[in-house]
Amino acid sequence: MSEELFPAFLKLEGRRCLVVGAGRVAESKIESLVRCGGDVRVVAPEATLAVREAARAGKIVWEQRRFEPSDLAGVFLVVAATSSPELHQEIFERAQRAGILCNAVDEPERCDFYYPAVVRRGPLQIAVSTSGHAPLLAQQIRQELEERFGTEYGAWTEEIGRARSEMLASGVPAEERLARLRELCSSRSFNEFRKRAHPEPGAGDNSSGKVYFLGAGPGDPELLTRKAWQILHSADVVLHDALVPPEIVRLAPAEALVCDVGKRCGKKSITQEEIHERLIVHARAGRTVVRLQGGDPLVFGRAGEEMAALRAAGVEFEIVPGVTAASAAAAAAQISLTDRRLASKLIFLSAHRCKGEFAADWKTVLRHDATYAIYMPGGNYERIARELLAAGLDGATPCVIVSQASTPQQLILRLDLASLADVPQPPAPALLLVGEVTRAEAVEAAAAWGDDGQAFENEVVR
């Protein structure tokens, strides 16, 4: 069916609703009609235990017989839930002539309306429909929405409704009323409501805020954890690194204060002390503060310094880990970072060498049975290659550079250590993987191409 549906929520209180059929499929249809206050009558020769119990409890009327045309008299809507297409066609045609809304289960061509997948949070209802094309997809989306919108949304909706009724009763002017309601419906208002409804143990002052260290992952918004996604949606303030993709930053509420506090080597930027001060000031003002960092916040970031500053200031914080760049890069290149045949060790290193940064002594970490995940190689590939060769690695050691992992701009460059010095610098963020696990992948790929598996050819893959 191609026509566009008109979405509407019907009031069924006291209205006659007929369900033809009383099997398993009919159970959920009957239950939803009863929940909404419908006057439900069921016609079917046999019924499931649940339907019989509902009839005994007086919730519905069940007539143990076959459908008759007179059953449609005075009916507002009818649901056909039997195994007979012929009976469904008859009911649909009669309903059309009588102006009665009809739903024949799993038969879109015989439906005036569809049962949506519904998230119920008190007076708040979110209905999802695929116009009868993909009911399972609607159910899947409903499950995702149930995780996004917790049970507290019902009580929050009721609170907003009471405030609206009070303003209408007291004659608050429309423009002022609209401004107040906008504020009541904001993320800030929801956070305050949630704190009142569920105060954290030991939190004597509900006005104090909290800082969340959120891992933004490698770049794909779908790789955010569900917890990170939920917290980001309720943030009052977001302080994010420069390389966090705009698609993730935009997940913050429209009214949130969003600031780029990325630190760029060789360029004037915000100081670390200024970041500490912003985190503390906003949290003390009672705000939900998100410190949004690429990858995992605990891997080659400054979370340690920032946590120390928050502890010293007595500011509460929580860490929500993310997918670190090494895992994302390996997944993109289809490489196992460890392999009991080739690499029993995984070593994380940073090639970043701004003023005051630690300079790695490769000889102290060199292991031939290890995979090296080198973060922030920047434009230092020539230096990295030179130092790794000087430390004792063979020039034929395979390498993989993954730029902008998990994003549409992802670039994978496969080469060996001897060629690393001449590689053009790919866009940041990038990560360099060095080790025999990458050779194993390359040999398998070469075999698939019909190669003899001996030569290791440079290759760029998008």
Which H helix or E strand runs over 391?
A: helix 381-391
Active-site residue identified among 39, 236, 241, 416: 241
Q: Is 422 a catalytic residue?
A: no
> 375 burial class (0-12, 13-18, 19+ CB within 10 angstroms)?
buried
Pairing state between β 124-128 and 77-80 = unpaired
- Binning the chain into helix, strand and coil, the percentages to the nearest 5 are 40, 20, 40
Find the catalytic residue in 263, 339, 345, 451.
263
Residue 241 catalytic? yes
Residue 365 near residue 332 (C-beta atoms within 8 A): no
- Residue whose tokens read 């590939």: 381
Q: How many CB atoms lie within 10 A of CB 291?
A: 26
**Residue in this structure with the two tokens 């914080």, named with its chain if needed:** 317
DSSP assignment string, 202-258: T---TT--EEEEEE-BSS-GGGS-HHHHHHHHT-SEEEE-TTS-HHHHTTS-TTSEE
Alpha carbon 422 to its chain centroid, in Å, reads 40
Instruction: Using alpha carbons only, give the angle 238, 242, 247 rounded to the nearest 5 degrees.
Output: 65
Residue 16 neighbours by CB under 8 Å, 6+ apart: 38, 39, 41, 74, 75, 76
Phi, psi (deg, nearest 5) at residue 100: -100, 135
Q: In this structure, are strands 101-104 and 317-320 parallel, antiparallel, or unpaired?
A: unpaired
Q: For the chain, what's the residue count?
A: 462
Task: Judge contact between 430 and 380, C-beta under 8 A.
Answer: no
Whether 410 contacts 332, CB under 8 Å: yes
Nearest alpha carbon to residue 253 among 191, 322, 209, 208:
191
Residue closest to 335 by CA, chosen among 447, 414, 451, 218: 414
Record the tokens describing residue 262, joined without a space: 């990325």
Residue pair 234/252 in contact (Cβ under 8 Å)? The answer is no
Location of structure tokens 């939803």: 32
Q: Which residues are bridge partners to 433 per DSSP?
A: 373, 400
Residues forming the active site = 241, 263
